[in-house]
Amino acid sequence: MDREPGEGMGVARRVALAPGLWFVATPIGAARDITLRALDILASAEVLVAEDTRTLRHLMEIHGLKLGDRPLIAYHDHNGAEARPRILRHLTEGRSVAYCSEAGTPVVADPGYQLARAAIAAGHPVNAAPGPSAAIMALSISGLPSDRFLFVGFPPAQAGARTRWIEEIGNIPATLIVYESPRRVHRLLGEFCEHWGEMREAALCRELTKRFEEVRRGTLGSLRDALEGDSLKGEVVLVIGRPLEIVADAADLDAALLDALGRMRVKDAASHVAEALGLARRDVYQRALALKEGSEE
Ligand code: SAM
């Protein structure tokens, strides 16, 4: 976590926190991105739960918060089944319980979902102190349409599931937000290009709110090419614009193709129109073939 001068001034207030589960969003890089309400909750909850107890201790120390004699319970992907009953017992006994994942918003590609389900099923209130999430920050700065977006998390690792996932999300008419490791993002961009064409707009957002924050904007193809031989470091979010055939009006595409097909061979017509409309050549070629065949019937 990046420290800045003047931190730890003790702005948190002890408040009478209602019993129940409190999800608390924490910074994704810059420690000062914590909200005042999050600090109040961390100062006041009777029980603290963290995906990584060391990270939470460090964050509390930066902001001048004391754990005191309150319990601090680890709750992560590998101990959920054992840790949940203990947390639920605290809730049943009427305590306020704050949960922080390692960074950002709990439950967003992080633990918390099963805990929320179990707490709700047992009739306990579930609250949150909203705050940073890499997905939303990346969307904000991507320059891509935000009227409809879909967070798709990390790609599956297994080959078959991965191909199905790529095909399934490829046609959704929405901006997509993908989490990926920096070591695998070049390969993923290549796979997207293979399945969807190279021309979809995209933004690669790296190390958000940290010292080496960087955004590269371009098409899937240009980003893939720019990363060739480049060993990326840090954390990465990929934001991808909606499918191009949905961006361009289908009637405009057909009109441009019919015009070009009157003057050129199918392949040249497709290249010409793809370039003019900023569409994937492969997709335009398929449409050109269909139009050509239709006109010959
Ligand atoms: N709960 C977190 C959130 O709300 O963003 C996400 C946790 S997930 C385990 C970790 C992934 O989030 C990283 O692999 C990366 O894709 C993304 N991420 C988290 N912090 C980031 C940052 N500072 N810059 C870019 N991506 C980040």
Q: Which domain holds residue 285?
A: 250-296
Token output for 193? 């290009």
Residue 20 alpha carbon to ligand 1 centre in Å: 26
41 shares a domain with 143 = no
Among residues 100, 132, 164, the one where a domain terminates is 132
pLDDT value for 231? 86
120 shares a domain with 67 = yes
pLDDT value for 188? 97
pLDDT digits (tens, 9 = 90+) for 212-265: 999 999 999 999 999 998 889 999 999 999 987 655 567 778 888 898 898 899
254 shares a domain with 220 = no
In a domain, 40, yes or no: yes
Q: Which residue, judged by its Cα, is nearest atom 11 of ligand 1?
A: 179
In a domain, 9, yes or no: no
In a domain, 15, yes or no: no
Pair 31, 136: CB distance under 8 Å: no
216 shares a domain with 143 = yes
Residue 104 alpha carbon to ligand 1 centre in Å: 7
In a domain, 8, yes or no: no
With a 6 A CB cut-off, is 207 part of the ligand 1 pocket? yes
33 shares a domain with 101 = yes
Among residues 132, 153, 182, the one where a domain terminates is 132
In a domain, 10, yes or no: no
With a 6 A CB cut-off, is 209 part of the ligand 1 pocket? yes
Kindly report the pTM of this predicted structure.
Answer: 0.83
Residue 58 alpha carbon to ligand 1 centre in Å: 18
With a 6 A CB cut-off, is 136 part of the ligand 1 pocket? no
- The three-state DSSP-derived secondary structure of the chain is CECCCCCCCCCCCCCCCCCEEEEECECCCEHHHCCHHHHHHHHHCCEEEECCHHHHHHHHHHCCCCCCCCCEEECCCCCHHHHHHHHHHHHHCCCEEEEECCCECCCCCCCCHHHHHHHHHCCCCEEEECCCCHHHHHHHHHCCCCCCEEEEECCCCCHHHHHHHHHHHHCCCCEEEEEECCCCHHHHHHHHHHHHCCCCEEEEEECCCCCCCEEEEEEHHHHHHHHCCCCCCCCEEEEECCCHHHHCCHHHHHHHHHHHHCCCCHHHHHHHHHHHHCCCHHHHHHHHHHHHHHHHC
Residue 206 alpha carbon to ligand 1 centre in Å: 9
What CATH number is associated with residue 77? 3.40.1010.10
pLDDT value for 2? 65
- Could you read off the pLDDT tens digit of each residue along the chain, which spans 297 residues? 765 554 545 789 999 999 999 999 999 999 999 999 999 999 999 999 999 999 999 999 999 999 999 999 999 999 999 999 999 999 999 999 999 999 999 999 999 999 999 999 999 999 999 999 999 999 999 999 999 999 999 999 999 999 999 999 999 999 999 999 999 999 999 999 999 999 899 999 999 999 999 999 999 999 999 999 888 999 999 999 998 765 556 777 888 889 889 889 999 999 888 877 777 788 889 889 999 887 776
Give the Cβ contact number of residue 151 at 10 Å: 18
90 shares a domain with 40 = yes
With a 6 A CB cut-off, is 193 part of the ligand 1 pocket? no
127 shares a domain with 24 = yes
In a domain, 2, yes or no: no
24 shares a domain with 125 = yes
Residue 42 alpha carbon to ligand 1 centre in Å: 21
pLDDT value for 246? 58
Pair 138, 108: CB distance under 8 Å: no
The minimum-distance atom of ligand 1 relative to the CA of 209 is 23
In a domain, 11, yes or no: no
Among residues 99, 132, 165, the one where a domain terminates is 132
d(CA 28, CA 102) in angstroms, rounded, equals 9
Report how many domains make up the chain: 3
In a domain, 209, yes or no: yes
pLDDT value for 161? 97
pLDDT value for 162? 96
